[in-house]
Amino acid sequence: GCYVEGDSLSNAFQWKETVGAWEERAGHYGDVWKYWTDDGLGHFEFFQLAEDLGAAPIWVFNSGISHHDQVETARIMPFVQEALDGIEFARGDANSTWGSVRAAMGHPKPFGLKYVAVGNEDCGKKYYKGNYLEFYNAIKKAYPDIKIISNCDGSSQPLDHPADYYDFHVKNIHKQTFMIANQTAFVSEYAARGKPDANKGNLLAALGEAGFLLGLEKNSDVVGMVSYAPLFLNTNDRRWIPDAIVFNSSHLYGTPSYWLQQFFTESSGATLLSSTMEGNSSYVEASAISFQSNGHPFPCNAFQWKKTVGAWEERAGHYGDVWKYWTDDGLAKYYCSWLKISVQLQYGCLTVVTLQLTISLTLLLTFTTTCINLFEIVAGMSHNDQVETASIMPFVQEALDGIEFARGDANSTWGSVRAAMGHPKPFDLKYVAVGNEDCLQKYTYYKGNYLVFYNAIKKAYPDIKIISNCDGSSQPLDHPADYYDFHVYAPAKELFSMSHKFDNTSRDGPKAFVSEYAAKNETDANKGNLLAALGEAGFLLGLEKNSDVVGMVSYAPLFLNTNDRRWLPDAIVFNSSHLYGTPSYWLQQFFTESSGATLLSSTMEGNSSYVEASAISFQSNGSDYIQIKNRFFLTQLFLVFLRFGPPHNKSFFLHLLSLFFVCSDVVGMVSYAPLFLNTNDRRWIPDAIVFNSSHLYGTPSYWLQQFFTESSGATLLSSTMEGNSSYVEASAISFQSNGSDYIQIKAVNFANVTVELKVKMTGLDSSNTKVSAKKKKVLTSASVMDENSFSNPEMIAPQETILVMPEGNLTFVLPPYSFSSFDI
């Protein structure tokens, strides 16, 4: 705009003075707007900003005219050469005179400059049209494809000179009629402006602009482009108002005019439908369009993986309309960025096909301490739309292409895209899930769509495990699947009571993948406290006992950025400099340590609603914690008694019988959700991991899960609880670690009482059982409502100590509101 012209030509913007090292730029006085600039946002940075935003750059250069000076046409050629040099800087080869300057600044590839405008609001001044023709002819000769924009208004009468577009500015919105002409309008500056109605940017301003934009849309055959101006406003300088986006050094927000434009950007490329208004109204304006979105027959903001691969700065990003924030798709199906995380963490790969990218650490109850990539395929459903099965094939092809991106050879169509991004080796993708929570009554096409996905994927990739959204925990599925997805968020006490959820699940058919679980409730779980972790502990012990039907489990969310706490709790909390684990994070450490364990059969004597326990056997570092030989396990059964002696003379016994389950029987997988919480957005709480831009920490729910990841691959021991307790839950597993056999007993005390736990074993030579110097871990805190934070990230985290007790006397103490594990 006026910045390009200057109040006088001596202070006009000179692009050549704004390239090269920033600290060497002289800067200049912007005499129109009366401030000094260091030209840090110069010619190079302008194109760089447009590239980063995914916007089309339109270079407006000086036409030899300022507010008070103008150069006659006979002397305009130096200005023309400046413009040609500026275009060469943007588009020239890296070996050209000015293209080499751009390349030396770190951008050897030319910028995508396709439009230039000759001057700003200069038509009507004596030498403008003569000067314009000199610019036009020289640029078209050198760059025939560049579109040239004239300052002269062609809305009311045709231009008398050649142009690809004419520029149209309006700052007092009213209905505008554009006549049919040979040229197309570029409405490059518009806004409702004036006091006292538009003021700093209010609803009235936006509604006036809405009527104007509807008129432009109706005349889209002669209006080619439109842009609101100005785009940005620094709150330290409000000399021009209103603007679209207001910012200071730490915050920003959009004015109503900004949000209005979202209505029109969503329908880019639409077809205008002919419409007329019946009656006579001076206050109603309307239009109608038809359009397609993302090549599919319904509009949506679903995650489209193909738009998330390639150079990050070239990704358009999209609006996540479920959680109400924009994403630049930097963590997407590069998808690879997401697949690479699993590789860098030395995890496996599981993919979910759905409307949004979900990240959670998945605990495999086969139990192998594994995180898997889960590619959630869009099943043709959004929260408010669905595609009928007869039209689902474009979605199926999207899924097949996405799998090829991950697994295909580097010479395949989509595998070559992955290879070009720096990863020629295929990713280890073994799991896909068709949709997310789509097996609901309102989604009438889910099962039909699912079968089309299932058959196509199995035909192309027979080894891939496919996960259905339909719940098979209470009744068998009526369609083929390798796993079924199970989500649960509940208050801590309710989740604790769900420890027996899979006890009566059919032992035939696909296993469960508990892909999202967490204790979630504002009054008890809050941001992720000990109470939440203990509720989750009871639930996980129940999954461990049913590991023959539960294949995998993952807490969600894993991370929480402290700037966005809309979902609480999470496992790990972070900001830009710190992080910590919630009690749920630490809880999970109890389970990760016993990966590969053998679950011991256990029963609880008596009736307790607050005690839950399990037992496992395992080996570690070549030492025998329980020295049980394989032949002994194969030829004998042994019985373990856990005696719980809480106050009031109540007694509880847990009977453990080794059944050698390699995995839980009806729960195949489980995951806490959500995994992450950005502290800038706390709309879902609690979560597993809380973060901001510099720190993160795990909630108690995060630490809780550590107890269960330790027992991956363990054998569940049959257990029963003697007595009557509503606040104790326990389980027992057996496993091996580093050549030694272990039994691990885990127990959660969900009450404000101390519980004494006594263990007895039958069928096992006590001389082969070593307890002293073995490990005990406890997750507890002074108050059950305590939470981790950036200032105290491990306020609730597992405390590991060495067991000290006489051999043969297995007596343990469960502190009030605690989760404990004991390795013997």
Query: Which CATH number covers residue 185?
Result: 3.20.20.80
Distance CA 206, CA 255 (A): 9
Domain assignment of residue 405, yes or no: yes
| Helix pair angle (446-460, 393-407), 10° resolution | 40
Please tell me whether residues 239 and 336 are part of one structural domain.
no
Is residue 504 one of the residues assigned to a domain?
A: no
Q: Tell me: do 680 and 795 sit in the same domain.
A: yes
220 with 332, same domain: the answer is no
- Residue that is last in its domain, among 219, 243, 265: 265
Same domain, 709 and 777: yes
Residues 6+ apart with CB under 8 A from 174: 212
Residues 6+ apart with CB under 8 A from 268: none
DSSP codes of every residue in 1-12: -HHHH-SSGGGS
Residue 576 and residue 435 share a domain? no
For 269, residues 6+ apart whose C-beta sits below 8 A from its C-beta are 291
From 330, 260, 786, 167, select the one nearest 533 (Cα to Cα): 786
Asked if residue 276 is part of any domain, the answer here is no
- Could you tell me if 254 and 393 lie in one domain? no
- Contact criterion met (CB below 8 Å) for 669 and 553: yes
Q: What is the mean pLDDT of each run of 10 residues along the chain (824 residues)?
A: 83 92 87 84 94 90 93 96 98 96 95 95 94 98 97 91 92 46 79 85 90 87 89 87 89 92 75 79 78 49 81 77 76 51 42 29 34 67 85 93 95 94 90 91 90 97 96 94 96 92 93 95 89 93 89 90 88 89 90 66 65 66 38 24 32 32 62 85 87 86 79 68 74 78 87 82 61 77 91 90 75 90 85
Same domain, 586 and 670: yes
> Has residue 737 been placed in a domain?
yes
| Torsional sign, CA 32, 37, 42, 48 | negative
Q: How far apart are CA 813 and CA 611, in angstroms?
A: 12
Same-domain pairing of 51 and 190: yes
Please give the Cα distance from 672 to 585 (Å, whole number). Answer: 10
Q: Is 699 within 8 Å of 586 (Cβ atoms)?
A: no
Task: Report residue 336 as tokens.
Answer: 């690879």
The residue among 575, 563, 553, 604 whose CA lies nearest residue 718 is 604
Cα end-to-end span (Å), the chain: 77
The verdict on residue 496 lying in a domain is no
785 with 685, same domain: the answer is yes
C-alpha dihedral sign at 488, 490, 496, 502: negative
Looking at the 3D structure of the chain, how many domains does it have? 3
Quick one: pLDDT at residue 367? 30
For 400-403, which contacts have Cβ atoms below 8 Å and span 24 or more sequence positions? 400/456, 400/457, 400/460, 401/306, 402/305, 402/306, 402/333, 402/335, 402/351, 402/353, 402/375, 402/377, 403/351, 403/375, 403/429, 403/432, 403/457, 403/460, 403/461, 403/464
pTM (2 decimals)? Answer: 0.52
Looking at 413, 446, 470, the residue that finishes a domain is 470
Residues 452 and 577 occupy one common structural domain: no
Residues 241 and 323 in one domain: no
C-alpha angle 442-672-580 in degrees, rounded to nearest 5: 140
Q: How many CA atoms lie within 13 A of 118 on its CB side?
A: 34
Q: Does 208 reside within a domain?
A: yes
Same domain, residue pair 244 and 101 = yes
**Residue 62 lies inside a defined structural domain of this protein:** yes
Q: Which of 413, 442, 470 is the last residue of a domain?
A: 470
Q: What is the pLDDT of residue 101?
A: 96
Q: Which of 568, 791, 797, 612 is nearest to 704 (CA)?
A: 797
What's the confidence (pLDDT) of residue 612?
73
Is there a domain that residue 285 lies in? Answer: no
Which residue range(s) make up the domain with 235?
A: 40-265
* Dihedral pair phi/psi, residue 125, rounded to 5°: -80, 150
* 3-state helix vs strand vs coil in the chain, percent to 5: 25, 30, 45
